[in-house]
Every structure is written in structure tokens, then in C-alpha cells.
Structure 1
Amino acid sequence: MLKWVALRFLEEGQVPVHALAFGVHKNFGAAFDLPLRLPIVIGISLCIGILLIHVVKKYWKDDPAFSLAALVILLGGAGNLYDRFAYGFTVDYLILFGRSAINLSDLLILGGIAWMLLQKQSFHRVPVDKI
């Protein structure tokens, strides 16, 4: 929904708001605008998606928070994958410091990765009284 609003109402370029600007950036490549052809990006995305589905299923009973973190990453990836099929590029509308362009799907992916790393670290932490 936010991407539709951005494409419909924001012009290509940006409107500065301190460290954050709103504008449309069409990302035809992979993460960080890496210049990869669309079929390669879609193939890699689908492989990562299949891996994340496996992670969700595998850890659901023993570590549901880890599975939910993987699911958040999967949802973010699905949003960007939808953009690639619908528009041929991802729609980035949050411009950070005039350099990096991201969208809500990217935030879900980054948040899910951070959550997954923190969850995995705490899952293997040994209680102080057991040392």
C-alpha cells in the first residue's frame, strides 16, 4: 500500500526532512542497487524464501521466536519480490541521509535479521549460575 502511494503521489527524486527524505527510487538491481539482472534476483529471492520456510518449520516448536524472526524476513522479501513482478523493480521511498533508499519491506528484512541474531544468541546463552 505504501509503495502504491509513493508511486502515485511522490515525484521521482526527494523532499528533504533532515536525515530522512521521501521520494521514489526505482531499484532495478539487488540489495544496495547491485546491478544484477531481474531473473537472477528473482531466482536468488526464491531460493532464500524456500530456505526461510524450512527454517520456520524446523524451529517452530523448539524456538518459536527464531521462527517468527525468519517469518518477518520472509514477509519483507515477499514484499520486494511482489514489486519485482508487478513493476520490474523495487519501490524505495525512504531516502536516508540523501544516499540510501529503502522501503518498509527492507525494514522488515533488516529487523527480522537483527531479531534472528539476537534470538539465536540468547537461545544459546548459558545461565550465570551454571558457569
Structure 2
Amino acid sequence: MAVIALLLSVAAVAVDQIIKLLVTSNLKPDSGFTVINGFLNIFYIKNRGAAFGILQNQRWFFIVVTLAISILLIISLFKYENHTVYSYIAAILIIGGGFGNLIDRILHGYVIDYLSVSFFPPIFNFADCCVTVGTVFLMIHILFFSNLDSDAERVIRKK
């Protein structure tokens, strides 16, 4: 299953990079268009920071942190023994999204962002969505499922 998860992460990176290629090929920086009036816009910006524009111009910090987290998640795909569907989905999305933005930081020095929704002011991208949703799935796994096997083992040992 770990190999399949890695392949799905690669697919997420491919989707992210294809969308970014379409955006950069069809829009100039700081320009965009409305998809759904009052709700969704495509607006190409060069983000040199993190979410919400924090930590501007910290390219190498983000590269190192992204690589470290991605390596830990890849190792966990093969070594962790209590995977659930939530932990696999979390790893797929976080690795895929992390590498999608990592490619931008290495190649361009910034992340290509393009999604703008009315209820959420920062502009973001598909990779950001993957990391965010993956983190939610990881939290669900940690909070509700990571101790199930160890709890069962304790009950068996007491008998």
C-alpha cells in the first residue's frame, strides 16, 4: 500500500504542476478573471512566503522544512504499522502538496498561487488544499485511530 500511496502523491504533484502551468501560460502575474461571480476567482500571484503571506522571503527555510516533513512521511508509509485510510490519505495529500509547492520554490523562488474565494481572503493553490486536507486527515487519524491497536494489545496482555 505504501508504494500505491507514493504513486498517488506523484499524481497529486502532477495535477498541481499542470494547473500551475495553465495559470502561468495564460495569465500575467497579478492578473486574473472571475469564474463564479462573487465567489471564485483565478488570480495569479507569486507567493514568496507561507500561508497568509507570513514569513516572506524564507525560501530555504521552507525547502528544508518541506523536505524534512516529506521524508518523515515517506518513511512512515513503510515503517508505521497502524495505518488507517485516514493516515494513508493524509500522507498522500501532504507529500503531494508539499512537493508541488517545493518544486515551485526550487525552480522559481516562490509558489504560484491562483485560487481566490470570497470567504477566505488569502490566495492559494491546489497543493495548499492538499496539505490542508491531508493535515485534517492526519489529525483525525491521530485523535481517533492511532491508539486503537495499542489499546487492544493492552487488553489482550491483561488477560
Question: Normalized against structure 1, the TM-score is what?
Answer: 0.82
2:3 maps to what in 1?
none
1:49 to 56, 64, 70: 70
Partner residue of 2:90 out of 54, 69, 88:
69
CA apart distance, 1:44: 1.5
Letter of the 2:127 counterpart: S
Pair member with larger Rg: 2
Does residue 122 in structure 1 map to residue 139 in structure 2? no
Residues in 2 aligned to 1:56 and 1:81: alpha-carbon distance in whole angstroms:
20
Moved more, 42-51 or 100-109: 42-51
1:13 has 2:31 as partner: yes
Distance 1:70 1:31 in 2: 20
Question: 1:110: which partner in 2?
Answer: 132
AA aligned opposite 2:45: H
1:30 Cα shift? 2.3
Q: Give TM-score, length-normalised by structure 2.
A: 0.69
Query: What are the ranges of 5 or more consecutive residues in structure 1 without an aligned counterpart?
Result: 127-131
RMSD, aligned CA: 2.1
More helix by percentage: 2
Aligned partners of 1:57 and 1:67 also within 8 Å: no
Q: Distance in 2 between the 1:119 and 1:19 partners?
A: 32
Name the amino acid aligned to 1:55.
S
Report what 1:100 is aligned to. 122
One-letter code of the match for 2:99? Answer: A
The residue that corresponds to 1:23 in the other structure is 43
1:64 & 1:57 partners in 2: Cα distance?
13
Is the 1:52–1:74 Cα contact (8 Å) retained in structure 2? yes
Q: How many residues align?
A: 125
1:47 to partner: Cα distance:
1.5
- Runs ≥4 residues deviating over 3 A: none
Between the two proteins, what is the percent identity of the paired residues? 29
Report if aligned partners of 1:55, 1:67 keep a CA contact under 8 Å in 2.
Answer: no
In the alignment, what sits opposite 1:39? 60
Q: Secondary structure at the match of 1:99?
A: strand
Work out whether 1:90 is the aligned partner of 2:111: yes
